[in-house]
Structure 1
Amino acid sequence: MSYPDSKNPYSFDPFLDWRENCDFYAEDPFARKAVRVFTGEHAAEVGAAAREISKKVSFRWRKMAEAIAWPEKRPWMMHYDGHNNRIDRIVRPNETEAMEQEVFGEALFSDKTHPWVRFIKMYLIYQNGEACISCPLTCTEGMVAVLDRFADTPETRAILNHCKEGENGHFAIGAQYLSEIQGGSDVKANLLEARRENGQWRLYGTKFFCSATHADYAMVTAKPMDSEKVGLFVMPSWLPGDKVRERRNGFIIDRIKWKMGTSELTTAEMTFDGALAYPVGPLERGLANMIGIVLTYSRLTVGLSGGASMMRAWREAARYCEFREAFGFTIGHMPMVAGQLKTIEKAAKRTLAGAFKLYADILALPGGFVRGADAKESDDLKRRRFAIRELIMLQKMATSFDAPDVLRLAISLFGGHGVMEDFSALPRLYRDAAVNELWEGPRNVLLAQVYRDLAGASAWYAPDRFVADILAGAPEDRVKEFQEEIAAILSGPGLFEPGLAAEKNCARWDRFCHRLFHAYQDIAAAMIQTDQDRIRI
């Protein structure tokens, strides 16, 4: 019975005590088993690194991420100093600057850091959301990857070393500036001009969507004058000696975008007027290298960060449902809530499992997912590399679509408290997840690209073989079902033909791709599950 009591004694303290003392990795047995299953001989090293960084992520960095998310701490622009000098200073809270220095101080991209160590550390870091950390991390990873392949001048090698090994304890941060107002994902439509002046390349024009504008360096796409090809350049934000003077390298920041999520991250419109930049790789291959290397790493990150946010959402929602009572029960024992928790758990675990499996598949490829321009390889290796490239896009599509749904469901289990930004991190993670769906190619762009790729490769890599290869380990009847459906879709109206029939085929392709990657994730999850805790495929 419940009688009136003006001094209501109710408290959330038992739940909050758990949350304040929750070590992300220690309370994540699924991730710990994934490490044992997928990292092989490196499992002990990876596990030790995870335990060490989790003490920072779960407490100090978590509190910093929560502090900088408040609206009054949102970054803002100071365009001029007190003496009317254009400085375009991005004013960010102290917590952001401190956490950034500490996270990048982990030397994640150093040659001394094993890729699996980097992977597990980034997984744990991403559980705190964007925090002006996640985007710069993946941008830097992509920059390092492309410079590792093409840095061939003193300037580009110095930039690469600054990102990988640091200078005087400072590790450089990378960004990527692609989008222009007329093109968006249509990078071929870019108009930013690269001019050769006195033996140097200078950039002129505008970019409309530039994230991590506080970075030290940026990968920039631009068209060399009198060319229709898109080149790739690396641009310092400041030339030597100019950072302390706040004198930027031939560009200005016009304004910061106001986004629904990733609000701690500065995304801006920029105008270039002679910015010094250095070409990266052959100029005629700029677009291919930007998409094939830089954006591929970013798409991988979206998959991993989606798994990270979902795993945190499941952990916190499950614990809250064990604590919260209503109608005489802890709500986790109510069948509808229990079923919803299982839905969240299944999605979170299979997403994380898929990210582990895909990363393992990438590391097993000689040279990674991008072969050398002149490298000769067997037909089998060519098919494996192609499959990885498509899986990366499929993961980005599926995970970025699943994460907002899962987070929204988790939020609902907190009732009215679920939407309170000062009650939990889930609303912030939800907004960040919604933005991630649009980064690095929105869904429609990637759906169309996978369709074109499979149709174009069909002469040497039949779609039914592609399906069989990526679903190795799934039941034969499940594989056959997907093989029959992909054959029907590819033989139907093209995705770019006008008319109702093509619209229906597009919708079918959308659903098919989502289900196909879920099947891949389920194979990975089954590799991790115990007999008592198995996701049926």
Structure 2
Amino acid sequence: MNIASEHHVVKGKNTYTFNAFLLKRDSMDWYRDELFLHKAVRRYAGKNVDSIHNAILSFSPVVSSKWNKLAEQNARPEVRPYMLHYDAFNNRIDRIVRPQEMHILEKEVFGEGLFSSKMAPWESFVKRMLIHQLGEAGVACPLTCTIGLIALLEQYPNGDHPELREILQHTKEGMDGDFAIGAQFMSEIQGGSDLPANVLEAVPDGKNYRLYGNKFFCSVAHADYSVVTAKVTGSDKVSTFIVPSWLPGDKLPEKRNSYQINRIKWKMGTAELPTGEIQYDGAVAYPVGPNDKGVAVAAGIVLTLSRLEIGIACAGFMLRASREAKLYGDFRTVFGKKVKDYPLSASTLLRLQHAAERTTAGAFKIYDLFLSLHQPLNAGIPKDQPEELRKQLFNLRELILLQKICVTNEGADVLRDAISVFGGHGVMEEFSALPRIFRDVVVNEQWEGPRNLLLTQIYRDIERVADWYHPDEFVRNVLKGAAEETITMFSNQLVDLLQKPVCREVNEESIKAAEEWDAFCDLFFKAYQTVAREEVLK
């Protein structure tokens, strides 16, 4: 007998496999198998609910399988976007090199026509929530920026610039099957979120303008068109412009519209998304919106929609994290018991599910308010509107801000807790998408205004309207459906906080008040989400 052969057969044999878990995880349909999402659609989609439900059922398998695999391939560090500044003949082209899988995913996602007038708003909403479950994947931020560009062009049509009508058609309805991608370039090195500090110069050139200067943080650097804020020569006010990346006939020869991409940023998350530094040297720009009202236009339309989309994205992140943690908890055996059968793990899984459902329900409820107000994207609260409408617009404004800061903050906690369910495997990049999505949600927390900036804005907003919209009434309207004791508690807390030095000079008292305000906003918004969740579950 061959002893070595015998030892090979008998010793060291381990038949453990993850195949059962992988088979179940990879066969999951992110809409069909998410019953809470079905209930939310049934509650909010209205008279066309059946057709919307069926359209999403047809769409979901592509996201859950093909697009998910493409997203995983695009996330590999060796295929991160990089710059090719010159061609073989020393022509400056600033080509952003991305993997072929990214081009396929991008073309198919945008080819869905998610912003077309042919697609019902709720159908687009739920499809986007499913797409966000991919993580950034190189398509989430481009979708978000394109929404803002379309809304800006629809809000401020400009008959003097036929180019803007073509851009709207190209981004919203597509041209010959090609859907353009939008971006928003607002941040400069000296200002960040402080848009009034912009110094990029817009020089009049007939009916158009020419841009000169630098934008320091430009996500979706590969876009076809971008929303850019700049100051017109001689003005200290910011205006808004649409800038094509290529002028007609120049895209194929890769001749950019008089600007250069200095480099691609190296970020902790959203790594598949090219974020660049751009130097303008006479780029042709088309004005859009009221002149010298660029900050109000950008914040009232573009940033509002971006913040709204971040809430939808975090719902998608949490749904996926909860679902995959639950699957693994039901599969993995540790010390003779399944992970889900340990009380601490069971508590974590329940907390993840509850957070995902709350966040999803809250996103639906806010979007429903957004749709019901028809034209809620205003540069401020219009004074000439009936007071009741002004109050609803104010509620929407504050809820979008609260959602943005609260769900990104909780989203990081949810992803971290979901990763912990997997133990050591949870941090393995090839084992699960959760580490990648965790980094994405942390980056999302900084997009469109970091937490402290928006907390300050919310406080000042409520202070500013208190003479016609009492804080108690605001709380009662937002938390309608909550228990009376809950409403009274938050109302009393808000009235009390508005008497404290939350936004005044730094001292021991103001720091303590600021901490109380931070905690209040989180708990207040969770109370709103809880009402939304209960409404879906009725």
- 1:406-450 deviation line (CA, Å, top 9, x unaligned): 000000010000000000110111010110000011101100111
TM-score normalised by the chain length of structure 1: 0.96
User: What is the deviation of 1:373?
Assistant: 9.4
Structure 1 residue aligned with 2:4: none
Superposed counterparts of 1:414-425, under 5 Å: 414-425=422-433
Structure 1 residue aligned with 2:7: none
Alignment of 1:269 with 2:261, yes or no, is no
- 1:423-478 deviation line (CA, Å, top 9, x unaligned): 01101110101100000111011001111111011111111111110000000110
User: What is the deviation of 1:497?
Assistant: 1.8
Indicate conservation of the 8 Å contact 2:71/2:137, yes or no. Answer: yes
Once residues 146 and 470 of structure 1 are traced to their aligned partners in structure 2, the CA distance between those partners, rounded to angstroms, is 28
Superposed counterparts of 1:431-450, under 5 Å: 431-450=439-458
Alignment of 1:495 with 2:508, yes or no, is no
Alignment of 1:170 with 2:178, yes or no, is yes
Alignment of 1:75 with 2:102, yes or no, is no
Percent of pairs with identical residues: 50
Of 360, 366, 375, 1:352 maps to 360
Unmatched 5+ stretches in structure 1: 531-537
User: What is the deviation of 1:52?
Assistant: 1.4
Alignment of 1:455 with 2:463, yes or no, is yes
Aligned AA for 1:68? Answer: N
- 1:49-96 deviation line (CA, Å, top 9, x unaligned): 211110110011000000000001101000000100000000000111
Once residues 116 and 370 of structure 1 are traced to their aligned partners in structure 2, the CA distance between those partners, rounded to angstroms, is 22
Alignment of 1:245 with 2:245, yes or no, is no
Of 138, 141, 144, 1:135 maps to 141
Superposed counterparts of 1:138-537, under 5 Å: 138-152=144-158, 153-370=161-378, 376-529=384-537
User: What is the deviation of 1:22?
Assistant: 1.0
Unmatched 5+ stretches in structure 2: 1-9
CA 1:25–1:374 in 2, change beyond 3 Å: closer, same or farther?
Answer: closer
Aligned AA for 1:67? Answer: Q
User: What is the deviation of 1:371?
Assistant: 8.0
User: What is the deviation of 1:5?
Assistant: 5.3
How many residue pairs align between the two structures? Answer: 527
CA 1:82–1:313 in 2, change beyond 3 Å: closer, same or farther?
Answer: same
Structure 1 residue aligned with 2:59: 53
Structure 1 residue aligned with 2:50: 44
User: What is the deviation of 1:286?
Assistant: 1.3
Of 109, 112, 118, 1:112 maps to 118
Structure 1 residue aligned with 2:69: 63
Once residues 139 and 157 of structure 2 are traced to their aligned partners in structure 1, the CA distance between those partners, rounded to angstroms, is 25
SS of corresponding position for 1:179 = coil
Q: What is the root-mean-square deviation in Å for CA atoms of aligned residues? A: 1.3
Indicate conservation of the 8 Å contact 1:223/1:229, yes or no. Answer: yes
Indicate conservation of the 8 Å contact 1:464/1:487, yes or no. Answer: yes
Alignment of 1:31 with 2:37, yes or no, is yes
User: What is the deviation of 1:366?
Assistant: 3.5
Aligned AA for 2:243? Answer: M
Aligned AA for 2:154? Answer: D
Indicate conservation of the 8 Å contact 2:301/2:379, yes or no. Answer: no
- 1:309-366 deviation line (CA, Å, top 9, x unaligned): 1100100100111010011111101111000101111111100000001001111114
User: What is the deviation of 1:197?
Assistant: 2.4
